[in-house]
Amino acid sequence: MIARRRQVALALTALLAAAAACQAQERQGSAPPGRPAPSAARGFTLVASGDVLPDNSVVDRAHFDAGGNGYDFRPMLSGVEPVVSAADLALCHMEAVYGESSDYTGYTAFRSPPEAALGLTATGYDSCSTASSHALDDGAAGIRRTLDTLDRVGLRHAGTARTEGEARSVTILPAGTARVAQLSYTFDTNGTLPPDQPWAVDLIDERRIVADARAARKAGADVVVASLHWGTEWQDDPDEQQLTLARRLTASRTGGRPDLDLILGTHAHVPQAYEKINGTWVIYGTGDQIAGETHNQQGVRDLRGNQSTIGRFTFAPPTRPGGRWEVTRAEFIPQMYDLDAGRVVDLNAAIANGADLTGVRDRIRDVVLSRGAAKDGLVMGE
């Protein structure tokens, strides 16, 4: 964790130095404000993983891993730490809100231990999307408690807000020499928005998403990423809403440049396909990274609810002024939550070490590639 923080500090120092250099070049008329000179720009890698939605068994496991004193989610996530921490920017999806004073619950109204945030930070995550169907499971107090906790551990966030000003702000994150905007929206919430806080959770609305993406670009974002909590639960295939909205959002352009550079989907509980649409990568559903024992809509225990992927995208800087940061490599890394061990498992790494998990890995691969992403260059990463 200390090494990770040192890397972040060095990255921020480098960004400040680059900004100062840009300002000097601007005075000489050679570069726009807030941008590194073209020769200084370099690519970056972004990873994004699925829903963190701990049920009671996961909470009990974190309590056990803490030796019965508090909760420790670090061991649970240690298997994917090498992948996450190696990225320039790592995004998670905190679907549940945090509870208070050991008042922690699983399905149906989730209130998770705030120590989950420490586990995410230690694993190497930089920011979490928080707009989800469970964002109001503990009302406005749950949102406030969750965002306060993320702030304390140094995790950025997007999708829910404590104030109207925060709701109108843009989350912009450093990634190498690039500035990445993270947007986050949900199709609905299980609870009702507080009448005096209609801005507390960002809801999916095509015009709003496009407007926010354009505002992020004006605020200095080189790359705009939208996390969408959408789709039909327990369905491997994206539904019509996902397909239609993905087509429309990826087609939206300003000055010939796409308004969105990447779409990250969550909510369905199971892995769904990746697809390149109008030149932009879309993950319809990453699946649940941490959920515990899950039951589908028929009430049947369904192990797919513990299968997921990490998407990894390598971005290269524009080849011309005002151009797009292009994805030059797109990868998916299959993973699962081992119910018996209480650990998130990188399936490729586990198989390489002799684990008999090829059937699970191959099922995830087939779903991810089911809409032809392989022809557009998507590969399974290590």
The pLDDT, as a whole number, for residue 10 is 39
Ramachandran category for residue 373: left, alpha or beta (phi over 0 → left; psi -120 to 50 → alpha): alpha
The four Cα atoms 153, 159, 165, 171 give a dihedral, to 10 degrees, of 60
**How many CB atoms within 10 Å of residue 272?**
29
Angle at 86 between CA 85 and CA 87, to 5 degrees: 90
Q: Please tell me whether the peptide bond between 286 and the residue prior to it is cis, using omega within 30 degrees of 0.
A: no
Q: What is d(CA 50, CA 48) in angstroms, rounded to the nearest whole number?
A: 7
What is the CATH topology of the domain spanning 41-380?
A: Purple Acid Phosphatase; chain A, domain 2 (3.60.21)
DSSP string, 206-237: HHHHHHHHHHHHHTT-SEEEEEEE-S-TT-SS
Q: 338 - beta bridge partners? A: 343
The four Cα atoms 158, 159, 162, 168 give a dihedral, to 10 degrees, of 80
Lookup: tokens for 246: 């993905």
How many helices and strands in the chain, by DSSP H and E? Answer: 11, 19
Q: Which residues contact 164 (CB under 8 A, 6 or more apart)?
A: 197, 199
Contact 174, 126 (CB under 8 A): no
* Residue of 1, 42, 2 lying closest to 18 (CA atoms): 42
Per-residue pLDDT of the chain (382 residues; tens, 9 = 90+): 334 433 433 343 343 334 434 333 333 333 333 444 445 789 999 999 999 999 999 999 999 999 999 999 999 999 999 999 999 999 999 999 999 987 899 988 999 999 999 999 999 999 999 999 999 999 999 999 999 999 999 999 999 999 999 999 999 999 999 999 999 999 999 999 999 999 999 999 999 999 999 999 999 999 999 999 999 999 999 999 999 999 999 999 999 999 999 999 999 999 999 999 999 999 999 999 999 989 998 999 999 999 999 999 999 999 998 899 999 999 999 999 999 999 999 999 999 999 999 999 999 999 999 999 999 999 999 8
**How many CB atoms within 10 Å of residue 20?**
10
Contact 291, 73 (CB under 8 A): no
Domain spans of the chain?
A: 41-380
